[in-house]
A and B are shown apart, each in its own frame.
Chain A
Amino acid sequence: MKKSKVIIAAGIIGLSAIGAMVANHIQQPSLPTFSTAYVQPKQTALPEFTLGDNQEYTKALFQDKWSLVFFGYASCPDVCPTELYNLNNVAKIMTDAGKTMPQVVFISVDPQRDNNEMLTSYAHFYNDNFLGMTGASSEIDKLVASFGVIYQKTFLATNGKYVSVPYTSPIPEDQRESYLINHSSRLYLVNPQGQYVAAFAPPHSANKIAEDLLKL
């Protein structure tokens, strides 16, 4: 009798320990040792958000698959296209290696000029599987805060100098179509649990990024 109680108690303790380990693993899945990606000291669960014309993009977007997230804007002539072409090269390397390319999510921080339909075709130009999206600045900023992105509007003032202001600040009327945006150009890695776990700092090399992604 006593013996069986001990066995049951031991069993409960053992199962709890296993349960705790499993729970812990779900909470904090371990990452491989990356060569170039900067691992976040603490894996950050992404907040609730809604992007897309019909609020179709939510936190669920990041569930059950690895994702790479990049913030930019469609009127960006150099940095964003360079990044998207580069990510297409990463996808080629991954496919050639028989591995799944993480989902690529291009988020425009410029909803005043960009829309979802245009961003979808924009992203597909670089790769059929890439996603392009935007939404209300208040929703974008929830993600911006989680990833630690910074961005601002910048325009040429009449004195020939660039002036940078927060995105939602009013700017001169003649600049409303031609402003530029300064933005962080890190590439963020999100795990299948929807947590921000690592970032690739520029300059980005397709081979280096793929080398780390192949370890996932």
Chain B
Amino acid sequence: MQKSIITTLIATAIFSTAPTFAAETTNIMIMDSWVRAAPPSAKVQAAFFTVMNHSNKPIVITDVKAQGFGRSELHLSGKKDGMMTMQKQQQVTIPANTVFQFKPGSYHVMLLEPNKIAAPGELVNVSFTLLNGETISTKMPVKRDNNKAKMDHGKMDHSKMDHSNMKHN
């Protein structure tokens, strides 16, 4: 277990930018964060990041706030009845000793009621509230995409994919 964490840490260190935040008391790191650029006419934006829980206990995120946005919510994209769905999450639990990704098509922070849509190059200050009452803040750069050599999953073996959600609607 310990070994795999170290491997993950090394891997993460290699593949991502420096951590944007490490909490003083809770052993948590938020890294590789970004707010996806959106058209000026858009009404919402989304924030994505990686959370590393280095502790032996789950960490629960209960709330999120972002500067420049009237409301921010924890969300999860999913599939239901052949449709893409989105649901607000009251809280998100990061299991002990895990690297947990908030990424497109999955968990993300939905930023609503913008004073003005955040433009590429700007930084958005995002604060998370944890179940233990702690607040952690991080500045997230606005980007068109997460400029990393992204793996294209097109070559993934989909033979084991669960197609039960596939409906020829």
Contacts and interface: CB of A to CB of B under 8 A. Distances in A.
Contact of A184 (B75, B82, B86, B104): B82
Interface stretch (B18-26, B38-46, B54-62, B93-101): B38-46
Interface of A: 38, 74-79, 81-82, 85, 113, 118-119, 121-122, 124-126, 148-152, 154, 156, 160, 162, 178, 180, 182-186, 201-203, 205-208, 211
A205 B152 contact: yes
B86 A78 contact: yes
B166 interface: yes
B121 interface: no
B104 A182 contact: no
A149 B169 contact: yes
13 contacts: A78-B77, A78-B104, A79-B77, A79-B86, A85-B144, A121-B39, A121-B40, A122-B42, A124-B39, A150-B169, A152-B83, A180-B86, A202-B84
A81 B77 CA distance: 13
A182 B112 CA distance: 18
B16 interface: no
Given A77-B86, A78-B77, A182-B83, 11 more contacts: A77-B110, A78-B110, A79-B86, A82-B104, A121-B39, A121-B40, A148-B168, A150-B83, A184-B82, A203-B105, A207-B152
B117 to A, nearest CB: 10
Interface in B106-133: 108, 110-112
A125 B152 contact: no
B112 A178 contact: yes
Contacts of B135: none
A78 B83 contact: no
Q: Which of B43, B110, B152, B153 has the most CB of A within 10 A?
A: B43
A151 B81 CA distance: 10
B134 interface: no
Nearest to B163: A201
Contact of A75 (B44, B79, B154): B44
A79 B144 contact: no
Nearest to B104: A82
A65 B114 CA distance: 38
B146 to A, nearest CB: 10
B49 to A, nearest CB: 14
User: What 8 A-B pairs are tightest by C-beta distance, nearest first?
Assistant: A125-B39, A205-B154, A182-B83, A77-B46, A77-B44, A185-B84, A118-B41, A208-B154
A78 B108 contact: yes
Contacts of B38: 81, 125
